[in-house]
Structure 1
Amino acid sequence: MNKPLRHGPGVAIVCLLLALLSACSSSPVTQNQGGAAPASKPRPAQDGAPDYFKDVSQIPDAVPVPHTGAFKASPYRVLGRNYNPMKDGRNYRETGLASWYGTKFHGQLTANGEPYDLYGMTAAHKTLPLPTYVRVTNLDNNRSIIVRVNDRGPFHSDRIIDLSYAGAVKLGFAEQGVGRVRVEGIDPVAWQQENNPGYLVKAQPAATPPRPAPASSVAPSGSNVGLYLQVGAFASDQAAEQLRSQLQGMVSAPVFVSPIEVESRTLHRVRLGPVNDHAEAERLMETVRLANLGNPSLVSAN
């Protein structure tokens, strides 16, 4: 379905002066292939900041959470130009200008089908898959935030990202309309491992020697039997079961939890297999990585 898109405020300083707003927007255009639901309610004639004060410094950053559903990355066309979104935004890095959008789009549906909240920590990007988490750093003051990309835009050649009003205020460029930023994609699984101890233990401690595997469970190079993938290992059996359930819903290979005792504690390993050959193993590894569910590795069956 078609959906109005916007260029974000900070289109021109002239617009700021004429409208006496902290930001402004050019006329909306129609997205031809965005696939988003239509806007849910009438919009103000011009974009800008809310006319009431709220301390956005207390609004927390978005928390990167592994996405288990389908990503929105379909090609689309806007203003006579075709866009082909990336399939994976975790390694995305770019420096350029950021703008923001506010009251005109507050409550409207984003390209991801979620209501836009000018006080939410979200953003719009032309080609990142939806959703993607990114860190945005203001290069003029070194302030940094994490936002969830759930919308398309800004469709100006000199802008690389459109932030929510709250995001622009926290980065300190809302009044100017635009700011120089660095945008860096985030791997939610790696972020959770770093910031949530115990979330995912991916490797057995080196001090614990691995048990010898039965000869039939280890596939030599070129063999077409006995290949297994380990996606992760958890101290919590519930966390392991949750990942097992998520994986089983998206792959055809058997998924199972294999407990192991390590230094007087139990790790619950989540594994796939057996896999027929290396090509199939590589395909499954890429499928799991793109779903942000981990970085699988080939292991023995023990």
Structure 2
Amino acid sequence: MINKQLLLPTLLASLVLAGCSSSPSKRYSIDDDIAPDAPISVDHIEDATPQYEPYSLGGNSNYTLRGESYTIIKEPKGFKQEGQASWYGKKFHGHLTSNGEIYDMYSMTAAHKELPIPSYVKVTNKDNGKTTVVRVNDRGPFHPGRIIDLSYAAALKLDVIRTGTANVAIEVISVDRPTQTHKQEALPKFVVQVASSKHQDRVETLAQDLSQKLSVKSYVNSASDIHRVFLGPFNDYMLTQKALEQVKELGYTSAFIKSH
């Protein structure tokens, strides 16, 4: 009988190469990474919100790639680094990241060689002064001099798409583990923002339809005459990711995950 406890770490370790833009593989439908054919605006996509998350089972073991050994940083608080940022997009969209999540080029995520997964990182483009916050959930990049691979959305916000790479400074944003007394209410929750509109009746109808089709909770939040449809909240990021993929398959390609 197969020992599943031994099999799981082996399987997850194999995902280290799955999402990194610097590790070509025949598993991808296109050879060279490119931007989406019809890119959507990322103005509505908010920075990742730093919060306490336990480290993932996958993607957090020390590893060796192309003769180089990489040691995961166990205590990243205060970690800072400078170097070049690159980005990855359509080629890897929909494929597994190093910890088994689905890479979404419209989420505010990134890849780093040694930071624990997940980590939250403030990225500053030293060439133009723009900043953003991303959630590290992947491994890479493995080109000399490059320290972080940004999702398409994050790279667009920092104006890295136009230049291809940029000189950046990164800084880990650490969030302490909640105390036992407040642990239940302090655990992270996530929602999927599906769409927004000035027409409240349409938004409410959409929320009801999606709730029935996907068998998930939904609600409408209204502010400044704008009505937004949300799915959730979810306590589990993987369940949130699943809901995001389902709603995108229904045609709502600009949907994205945010903290609740």
Give the structure 2 partner of residue 43 of structure 1: 29
Q: Deviations over 1:203-226 (max 9, x none)?
A: xxxxxxxxxxxxxxxxxxxxxxxx
What is the rounded CA distance, in whole Å, between the counterparts of 2:155 and 2:43 in structure 1? 11
CA contact (8 A) 1:50 1:103 kept: yes
Q: Which moved more, 1:152-161 or 1:85-94?
A: 85-94
In the TM superposition, residue 176 of structure 1 has moved relative to its aligned partner by: 1.2
Give the structure 2 partner of residue 159 of structure 1: 146
Q: Deviations over 1:153-191 (max 9, x none)?
A: 00012100000011111001112110011100001249x
In the TM superposition, residue 88 of structure 1 has moved relative to its aligned partner by: 2.1
Q: 1:174 to 1:142 in 2, by over 3 A?
A: same
Which of 62, 65, 74 is the aligned partner of 1:87? 74
CA contact (8 A) 1:125 1:160 kept: yes
What is the rounded CA distance, in whole Å, between the counterparts of 1:183 and 1:52 in structure 2? 30
CA contact (8 A) 1:73 1:86 kept: no
Give the structure 2 partner of residue 57 of structure 1: 43
CA contact (8 A) 2:109 2:137 kept: yes
| SS in structure 2 of the partner of residue 242 of structure 1 | helix
In the TM superposition, residue 27 of structure 1 has moved relative to its aligned partner by: 5.9
Structure showing greater radius of gyration is: 1
| SS in structure 1 of the partner of residue 43 of structure 2 | helix
| SS in structure 2 of the partner of residue 166 of structure 1 | helix
CA contact (8 A) 2:19 2:98 kept: no
Counterpart code for 2:170:
V
Query: TM-score if structure 1 supplies the norm length?
Result: 0.52
Correspondence 1:144 to 2:131: yes
Give the structure 2 partner of residue 171 of structure 1: 158
In the TM superposition, residue 67 of structure 1 has moved relative to its aligned partner by: 1.1
Give the structure 2 partner of residue 28 of structure 1: 24
What is the rounded CA distance, in whole Å, between the counterparts of 2:100 and 2:183 in structure 1? 30
- Is there any run of 5+ residues in structure 2 with no aligned partner, and where? 1-10, 188-260
Query: TM-score if structure 2 supplies the norm length?
Result: 0.60
What is the rounded CA distance, in whole Å, between the counterparts of 1:69 and 1:94 in structure 2? 21
Correspondence 1:102 to 2:44: no
- Is there any run of 5+ residues in structure 1 with no aligned partner, and where? 9-25, 30-38, 191-199, 201-230, 234-239, 246-302
Pairwise CA RMSD of aligned residues?
A: 2.8
Runs of 4 or more, structure 1, over 3 Å off, are 3-8, 68-72
Structure with bigger RCO (C-alpha 8 Å, 6+ apart): 2
What is the rounded CA distance, in whole Å, between the counterparts of 1:151 and 1:80 in structure 2? 20
What is the rounded CA distance, in whole Å, between the counterparts of 1:170 and 1:176 in structure 2? 12
Q: 1:91 to 1:43 in 2, by over 3 A?
A: farther
Say how many residue pairs are matched: 174
In the TM superposition, residue 43 of structure 1 has moved relative to its aligned partner by: 2.8
In the TM superposition, residue 113 of structure 1 has moved relative to its aligned partner by: 0.7
In the TM superposition, residue 59 of structure 1 has moved relative to its aligned partner by: 0.7
Q: How does 1:67-78 map to 2 (within 5 A)?
A: 67-68=53-54, 72-78=59-65
In the TM superposition, residue 44 of structure 1 has moved relative to its aligned partner by: 1.8
Q: Deviations over 1:114-133 (max 9, x none)?
A: 00001110000000000000
Q: 1:79 to 1:69 in 2, by over 3 A?
A: closer
What is the rounded CA distance, in whole Å, between the counterparts of 1:183 and 1:56 in structure 2? 21
In the TM superposition, residue 140 of structure 1 has moved relative to its aligned partner by: 1.4
| SS in structure 2 of the partner of residue 104 of structure 1 | helix
| SS in structure 1 of the partner of residue 157 of structure 2 | helix
Q: Deviations over 1:29-84 (max 9, x none)?
A: 6xxxxxxxxx9x74322211001021112211111120135565211111111111
What is the rounded CA distance, in whole Å, between the counterparts of 1:97 and 1:6 in structure 2? 19
Identity of aligned residues (%): 45
Q: 1:57 to 1:73 in 2, by over 3 A?
A: same
